[in-house]
Amino acid sequence: MIKKDDSIQMAVGGLTLDPVTKTPIVILKDMDNKLNLPIWIGLLEATAMATELEGIKMARPMTHDLLKNILGEMGGSVKSIEITELKENTYYALIYLNIAGRELAIDSRPSDAIALALRTKSPIYVAKAVLEASSILQQAEEGKEPDFSNVSKEKWAEILEKMSPEDFKYKM
């Protein structure tokens, strides 16, 4: 397993919804359960993570399954992913790949990197600088106490049931 001195290994602690905006949030937790990093993500990415976390198998491969399958067929593997930066309230990530003995770092949205890491059982790292910047950001918003209670599988099903195809349009 890769050990990064400037990063901390974390795992997905759960998914929840922002109580105000109803936007999905993935919660990363360190191995000692002392640090957490909430990252607001899109509904499709939250669904991709939730299906993997819950062990739900789709009839056909979803996007992150497709990426995993392509990498496997090419003899590649995901070594790890890392949340590398927090700039202007936006997180950045890299996916570290090994393809035919070649090490590659691929730019990614954190949500896609995490969904792929879950499928490939790859370690998730967060740069210490990101945790520090996120901590400062959270302290600045201390008056807004978010509710990070976990959303159950049944609640996700209820949320998805109420949605229309228009809700799935990707907005930039």
Over residues 112-161, the pLDDT tens digits come to: 999 999 999 999 999 999 998 887 655 545 544 444 344 555 655 555 56
Tokens 């930039």 belong to: 172
| Whole-number pLDDT of residue 34 | 86
- Whole-number average pLDDT of the chain: 83
Question: Is the pLDDT confidence value at 81 over 90?
Answer: yes
CB contact burial 123-155 (16+ within 10 A = b; e otherwise): bbbbbeebbebbeeeeeeeeeeeeebeebeeee
Domain ranges for the chain, please list them: 7-159
CATH architecture of structural domain 7-159: Roll (3.10)
pLDDT tens digits, 87-113? 988 999 999 999 989 999 999 999 999
